[in-house]
Amino acid sequence: MAANAKKNDDRSTPPPLPEPLAVPVADSHTHLDMQSGTPAEGLARAASVGVTTVVQVGCDVPGSQWAADLAAEYEQVHAAVALHPNEAPRIFLGDPDSWSGQRRTPGGRAALDAALAEIDRLAALPHVLAVGETGLDYFRTGPEGVDLQKESFRRHIEIAKRHGKALVIHDREAHEDVIAVLLEEGAPERTVFHCYSGDAAMARTCAEHGWYLSFAGPVTYKANHPLREALTATPLDRVLIETDAPFLTPHPYRGRPNAPYLIPVTLRAMAAHLALGEDELATAIAANTARAFGY
């Protein structure tokens, strides 16, 4: 019992602060609303180790409004607003198993249109710099939701282009279809693949189109050789970094709570793999993130 309690305590204990980066960088994708403590506390911890900017990402209408409000309050926060790929089918078809935490009845076309209208409204705000995370997710949503996901994705692309905002892609087990939709619709000038999970060949395809690839904690996991090969294949001027916190905590803290202050752990692992100095990589990532999100 004592050993099990200790193990559980370890998994719930936040990792220690890493050594600060000499060159400040941005966490290009985080969810402060899902993390413990206040946003002010999370931002202060991040800044103390050289993570001076974060992109707060919304996954539904309330979360997107929260992101926009936070970005209006804090200069170092930029907002991205969207319906997550899994959210669109839940709005239209309902959520009988309450996976989202909100047991919902089917809302149909009217509910989906109303939600997308709210995302459109938020995307017009000056402190909202991106539309996302949007895309396709074939892991969580079954076949009945695929067409709704694609429709939602296409409408987010149109919103991003009309407002001149970056597009943030969520792509889970849907690589070919995500790229197909982007090419059919015409990707926005600034397109970011959040938590990139494709292989090196896909990374080269993305590079050909000028898309940015954002790498998260999984690039540090021992078994993820194909992901590190993808990092190698990505031009340095298209590499971003993120936490996707509170998810995807980097090695050696996998399974414990993630937060923006752990960006240096992932960055140092990426620099070692690329045989670059951490300052050189941080300088490139800082410039890339500002260019990708337009700040």
Known binding residues are 29, 31, 133, 170, 194, 244
Distance CA 243, CA 184 (A): 30
Place of tokens 């993390």: 35
Mark the binding-site residues for a divalent metal cation, compressed into ranges.
29, 31, 133, 170, 194, 244
- What is the C-alpha separation between 277 and 283, in angstroms, rounded? 10
CA–CA dist 171, 206 (Å, integer): 13
By the 8 A CB rule, do 35 and 256 touch? Answer: no
Of 78, 80, 40, 42, give the one whose Cα is nearest residue 64. 80
SS3 sequence of the chain: CHHHHHHHHHHHCCCCCCCCCCCCEEEEEECHHHCCCCHHHHHHHHHHCCEEEEEEECCCHHHHHHHHHHHHHCCCEEEEECCCCCHHHHHHHCECCCCCCCCECCCHHHHHHHHHHHHHHHHCCCCEEEEEEEEEECCCCCHHHHHHHHHHHHHHHHHHHHHCCEEEEEEECCHHHHHHHHHHHCCCCCEEECCCCCCHHHHHHHHHCCCEEEECHHHHCCCCHHHHHHHHHCCHHHEEECCCCCCCCCCCCCCCCCCHHHHHHHHHHHHHHHCCCHHHHHHHHHHHHHHHHCC
